Amino acid sequence: MARIFTTICNKSDHLIAMTQMRSFLVRIKSFVKEGGFDRNVNTKLDALRKQYKADSLPIETFDAHLLKLKNNPDVVVSYNFIGPNNSLFIVEFEAENKSRIQRDVNKHLKKLPDFRLTSNLTETHFEEKGVIVIKAKTKESVPLKLEQLEEVGIELECEDVQIITGDHPNDSSFELICAKAHVNKIETELDKRGYQVISAEVQARPFERISMTENDSQKVDLFYKELRENESVKSIFDNIEYS
């Protein structure tokens, strides 16, 4: 039985925004791969669209992304950056071709003098983990407590349970960390038990996190702001300690 290490996280605004931006897009692609583009047949995709709308997100964005996946499948390329105080970033870009991604990377580097490309970080500084994010209420709107999720995490052989606190109580959610091979199985089980799964994916998690000075944190904020304006950015992983 896995041991659970519970962490309370206050993630910065840019990380919360990045998570919200990519969570639905990741699941769209996953459900399409599993059951196709037809929502009349693919019930998971249809339910996801309804959830997207219920969360007051623009349904036009959902439909446009679905159409883009169908007509112009993209390539995914990862780049590794090193920033102030040896902060490390793995950035996944998704676009129609590698040439466009390379042009985007060069453009970003010109605007970010404190950052440069570095070699592969996945093997030396990061490890791939399954990360399932669920809402702090069940499908029946019953609030969840940390103790409940700890028990669920142990039962499903998760390695870690984290509370993610937002600016408002309603923004809170839970992360369950597991072996990457188990992420789909655990997502399915959580859904069956009535939990609201926001996202379920494999992410790069650092072996160790580092603290940042206020000045360095401002530089990192600029890095995230610059990349968030690029619609080709699929996800960003870093080794920074957020308090």
pLDDT at 31: 85
The DSSP bridge partners found for residue 116 are 82
Q: What is the mean pLDDT of residues 26-43?
A: 84
pLDDT at 119: 84
Q: Is the CB of residue 159 less than 8 Å from the CB of residue 2?
A: yes
**For the segment 121-130, what is each residue's pLDDT rounded down to a tens digit?**
877 899 999 9
Most confident of 37-51, 150-164, 228-242: 150-164
pLDDT at 12: 53
pLDDT at 65: 82
| Residue-averaged pLDDT of the chain | 86
pLDDT at 130: 95
pLDDT at 27: 80
Q: Residue 1: is its pLDDT beyond 80?
A: no
**H or E, element range at 57:** none
Give me the helices (H) in 74-160, please: 98-111, 146-155
Q: What is the mean pLDDT of residues 159-186?
A: 87
**For the segment 185-218, what is each residue's pLDDT rounded down to a tens digit?**
999 999 999 999 988 889 999 999 999 999 999 9
pLDDT at 5: 40
pLDDT at 22: 65
pLDDT at 28: 84
pLDDT band at 102; cut points 50, 70, 90: very high
Q: What is the mean pLDDT of residues 100-116?
A: 95
pLDDT at 62: 85
pLDDT at 8: 42
Q: Domains along the chain?
A: 5-71+126-206 (3.30.70.980), 75-124+207-238 (3.30.70.980)
Structure tokens at 57: 């997100």
C-alpha closest to that of 121 among 175, 85, 78: 78
**For the segment 118-153, what is each residue's pLDDT rounded down to a tens digit?**
988 877 899 999 999 999 999 999 999 999 999 999
94: Cβ contacts below 8 Å, ≥ 6 apart: 74, 75, 76, 232, 233, 234
pLDDT at 234: 86
Secondary structure of residue 7 in the 3-state scheme: strand
Q: Residue 9: is its pLDDT beyond 70?
A: no
